[in-house]
Structure 1
Amino acid sequence: MTVQQCHEPGTAVAGVPFGRAARELELKPREFELAVQLGHVRTVAAGPGGRRRVPREEIERHTARPGFPDTLRTRVWVVGTAEGAELMGISPARFGRLARAGCFAPVRFYVNRYRAVVWHYLAADLVEFADASPDLLTGRTPPALRTALAEREDRRARTWRARRIDQLLALAEDPWERAAVMASVLGPEQLADAVPDPCERAYVSALRPELAYGRSNAPAGREVIDRVTLAAAPDEIERYRRRLTVALAEARVIRQAPMPKGPPVAGSQVVPALMAGEPMAATSGAPTTGTGGSPGVRQATPSGFRALWSWLRRRRAPLARD
C-alpha cells in the first residue's frame, strides 16, 4: 500500500503533535507509528528541523468515520505466526512455509532474548492473501511452491526490506534523501563501491534512515538486525545499487553534495518516519507485551477475533483502495 504524506515544500503547516494525535485517534504509540508508516494517517511538515505533525482535519476525518476507533485499529492490527495462522484457518507450519516463500510481507519484526527474529504481519494482508489464493491454504503444498521453498532462501527479510524501502521513499521529499533510502540496505563495502565519491558517500551516509526501530546496543543483537536490514542476495544487492545510481544522478541535477563538516552520521538527520515527530512513549522498538500473549501483538477475545475477521473480509476491497 502506498504511503501518502501531505506537505508543501519550504512551508510550515500547523498541526497536532504526534503524541496528542495518537491519543485523539485512540491508538497505542506503536499502532500510531504503523498507521503513519502505512499512510493511514497523513502528516505535514511543521516547522524547522523536519518535524512533522498531523493536520486537525485528518484527525476529524478519522473520528467522523462510522465504527471509529475500531475501523482504524483494524487497519493496523498486527499478528504473529500463531494468530495469523488461526486467522487464515491453517496450521502454523503451513503459515510459516507461505511466509518464508514470500507470499506475504512482514510489516515489522523484533529480536527476542534468544536472538531470534520474530516477524509480525498485518491481519488485512493475510485476509487479502487468503481470499486471493484459497488453493494454497488446503491440501498438499503445490509442487511449484515446494520447489521454491527448497531452492530459495527465507524471503521474509527481503520482502520486509522492500516494503520498508517503499514506505521511506514515500516520505522522502528531497532527491538526496531518496538516494539515502536506497543506500540504507547496502553494507559499507557495497556502499563504497556504489558511491566512490567521498563527499557524496558522506552526505548519503549522514542522511541514511534507520530501517528498524530500537536497534540493539549488544553486538550480537546488531548482527541479527543487520542480517534483516541489509540486502544479502547478489541479485537484490545489484537491484538496489542500480536504483541508487539512478537516484544519485537525479540528485546531482538538483545540487551537488556538500563538503562533509565532520565524520558521517550513522542514522537519519531527516524525517524517515516518526523520528521527527513529538517523542512518544513505547516507541523505542522494545515490543509491548499483552496479557498472556506474544510481545507486540494485540490479543483479541474469541468473539472479537471472529468479528474482526468478518469485518476484514467485508472491508478488504476498500482497504486496498485507500
Structure 2
Amino acid sequence: MSGPHAITHDTTTAVTAERATAHGDTWVTTGRAARELGVKRTEFDLAVHLGRIRTAPDDGGGRRVGRAEIERLRAGPGFPESLRRSVKTVGTTEGAALMEVTKARFIRLARLGPLVPVTFYPNRYRAVVWLYLAEELRLFAADDRNAPLLTGRTPEGLRSRLDAGIDLRPRNWRARHLGFLLRQADSPWARAGAVASLLDPLHVSQVVKDPYDRSHLHGFRRPPPSQGAPGSPAAHLAKELTTAQDADEIAWLQADLTRLTEEAREHRPAPRPAAHPPGPAHRTSRAGEPARRTSRGLLGRWRRRNR
C-alpha cells in the first residue's frame, strides 16, 4: 500500500530498529565485558565489588555494563595491566613478603585492623584464608606513619588486645562488603536490605517490628558470597562470616537499618493485603412484620389440615 500510511510505517520501523541497535551497542553482559577488558571473571567481579567497574541492573535481575564504561577503562593509562594490578590479591605469606615483614607480624596487623581483607575462601581444612589487595599493602608499607607498626616491638596496648583474642578481620571484611552491597542498591528498600543482609533475622525483627515491612525487606536481603553448594560447610562458613557477631557492630547496623527502613517506608510503603469489603448486613424483622414461619409451625398446620 502506498501513500502517507506506508511512509509512516516505514519510518516507525526504521526508528525502532535504530533504537534496538543502539540499545544493543550501549549495554553488554558482565561476561562479555570481562572478555573485552581482557581480565579473568574473578578479577572482573572483584573490580565491580571495589567500585572500579560500574554496572547497572538488567531486566533479568542480573547486572550489565555500559559501553561507555568499557571505553573509559580502556582509555586509562597502562590498560589492561593497570586494571589487573588494581585487583591483584595476595594471602598472608605473599603479603608479608611484599611488606617485608614476618608472617607473624602480618597476621598481628590483620587481626588488629590496619590491614583489611578484601575477600576470603575456605581451604580444604575448612579454615578461612583471607586475601588482601596487594596495592593496599604496598601503600601501607610505604607510608612513614606506619613504620612503628612494621618494625620493633608491638606497643603494649596492642599486645594486650591480641592477648585478649581480638580479630577484626571478619568485621572489617563485613564493613567492606556492606559498601559493595550499598553501591549495588538502586532503591531505598534495597539499601535497607543491604544492611539487613549482615544481621541475623532475630536482630532484624528487633528493630523492624511490622511483619509486612519485614516480609518486604526480606526480598531485598542479599545472600552471602558464594563459597560452595547450599548447605555445604563452605556455605555455612560464608554465612557465619557475613553475619555480624559483636554487640556494638550489631547495634550500629540495627540503628542504620531502623533509619533506612523508615526512609524506604516513606518512599513506598510495603505491600499489605487488600482490605476486605464489609459483607451484607443481616436482615432483621421490621416492627409489626410477622415472624418467619418455622418448620415446626408449618408441620403443625399440615397435621391439623389433614385430620
Q: So what's the TM-score if we normalise by structure 1?
A: 0.73
Residue 311 of structure 1 aligns with which residue?
none
Q: CA RMSD in A?
A: 2.0
Residue 28 of structure 1 aligns with which residue?
40
Residues 109-157 of structure 1, C-alpha deviations (whole Å, 9 max, x = no match):
1112211111111111111221231221111112232122223521100
Matched letter for residue 169 of structure 2: R
* Counterpart secondary structure, 1:170: helix
Q: 1:13 to 1:64 in 2, by over 3 A?
A: closer
- Tell which deviates more after alignment, 185-194 or 246-255: 185-194
Output the CA distance in 1 between the equivalents of 2:52 and 2:94: 23
Matched letter for residue 26 of structure 1: G
* Counterpart secondary structure, 2:28: coil
Residue 130 of structure 1 aligns with which residue?
141
Residue 303 of structure 2 aligns with which residue?
none
Matched letter for residue 174 of structure 1: S
Residue 68 of structure 1 aligns with which residue?
79
Output the CA distance in 1 between the equivalents of 2:96 and 2:140: 12
**1:216 CA displacement:** 4.1
Q: Aligned residues, how many? A: 249
Output the CA distance in 2 between the equivalents of 1:216 and 1:111: 13
Residue 161 of structure 2 aligns with which residue?
148
Q: 1:251 to 1:73 in 2, by over 3 A?
A: same
2:39 is the counterpart of 1:39: no
Contact 2:182 2:194 in 1 (8 A): yes
Residue 304 of structure 2 aligns with which residue?
none
Residues 53-89 of structure 1, C-alpha deviations (whole Å, 9 max, x = no match):
2122221222233322111100000111111111101
Residue 112 of structure 1 aligns with which residue?
123
Residues 31-55 of structure 1, C-alpha deviations (whole Å, 9 max, x = no match):
0001111111112344x24443212
Q: 1:259 to 1:104 in 2, by over 3 A?
A: farther
Residue 226 of structure 2 aligns with which residue?
213
* Counterpart secondary structure, 2:120: strand
Contact 2:224 2:238 in 1 (8 A): no
Residues 202-243 of structure 1, C-alpha deviations (whole Å, 9 max, x = no match):
111121012322344345434422321111111111110000
Residue 78 of structure 1 aligns with which residue?
89
Output the CA distance in 1 between the equivalents of 2:259 and 2:104: 41
* Counterpart secondary structure, 2:130: strand
Q: Which has the larger radius of gyration?
A: 2
Residue 268 of structure 1 aligns with which residue?
none
Residues 276-322 of structure 1, C-alpha deviations (whole Å, 9 max, x = no match):
xxxxxxxxxxxxxxxxxxxxxxxxxxxxxxxxxxxxxxxxxxxxxxx
Contact 2:212 2:272 in 1 (8 A): yes
Output the CA distance in 1 between the equivalents of 2:263 and 2:228: 31
* Counterpart secondary structure, 2:98: helix
Output the CA distance in 2 between the equivalents of 1:216 and 1:141: 41
Contact 2:227 2:235 in 1 (8 A): no
2:31 is the counterpart of 1:19: yes
Output the CA distance in 1 between the equivalents of 2:123 and 2:82: 30
Runs of at least 4 residues of structure 1 off by over 6 A?
none
Which sections of structure 2, spanning at least 5 residues, go unmatched? 1-22, 274-307
* Counterpart secondary structure, 1:232: coil
* Counterpart secondary structure, 2:203: helix
2:104 is the counterpart of 1:93: yes
Q: 1:79 to 1:171 in 2, by over 3 A?
A: same
Q: 1:82 to 1:167 in 2, by over 3 A?
A: same
Matched letter for residue 33 of structure 1: D
Q: 1:221 to 1:259 in 2, by over 3 A?
A: farther
Q: 1:12 to 1:199 in 2, by over 3 A?
A: farther
Output the CA distance in 2 between the equivalents of 1:79 and 1:65: 24
Output the CA distance in 2 between the equivalents of 1:107 and 1:24: 24
Residue 282 of structure 2 aligns with which residue?
none
2:204 is the counterpart of 1:199: no
Output the CA distance in 1 between the equivalents of 2:187 and 2:231: 33
Matched letter for residue 77 of structure 1: K
